[in-house]
Amino acid sequence: MLPGFDNQTAPLTDNELAALPQVVSLLKQHFGRDNAITNIGIQAEFPELTDARVRKIINHIRNNNLVPCLIACSKGYYVAETEQEMKDFEDSLRGRAEAIMAVCESIKSQMVQRFGGSYELRLF
């Protein structure tokens, strides 16, 4: 869990784990960008889920390879049709990770300026 985001990042609940096979089945039906399903669309099928919990479930699905090639774009979540889509999604993830790391570096510098001393950047 992440401090300050306890509810959003908590492990999947028993109810969420029970719904997981149905969510997986739903996502596998959304093959190709033109058939993407939004977070809101998933919530319509599973009203007990919040947008943050849908993202948590998507993360679990990806990290456990339950829906291979599940990616996202502004249209929603879908199973990639091409290798290029996968590469583009990977590039997007790397770009976001780099942007987050840039903020971490800035925060580290600001801590040194404000509080003195030195702070080591912790990656993980």
Question: Among candidates 83, 11, 70, which has minimal Cα distance to 37?
Answer: 70
Q: Strands 70-73, 76-79: parallel, antiparallel or unpaired by DSSP?
A: antiparallel
Give SS3 for 37: strand
pLDDT at position 1 is: 54
Write out the two tokens for 14: 């028993």
Domain range annotation of the chain:
1-81, 82-124
The CATH architecture to which 1-81 belongs is Orthogonal Bundle (1.10)
- CA distances to 51, 69, 77 from 86, rounded to whole Å, are 24, 7, 13
Q: At what angle do helices 51-63 and 14-28 cross, to 10 degrees?
A: 70
Q: In this predicted model, what pLDDT tens digit does every residue of 53-109 receive, in sequence order?
A: 999 999 999 999 999 999 999 999 999 999 999 999 999 999 999 999 999 999 988
Q: What is the pTM of this model?
A: 0.84
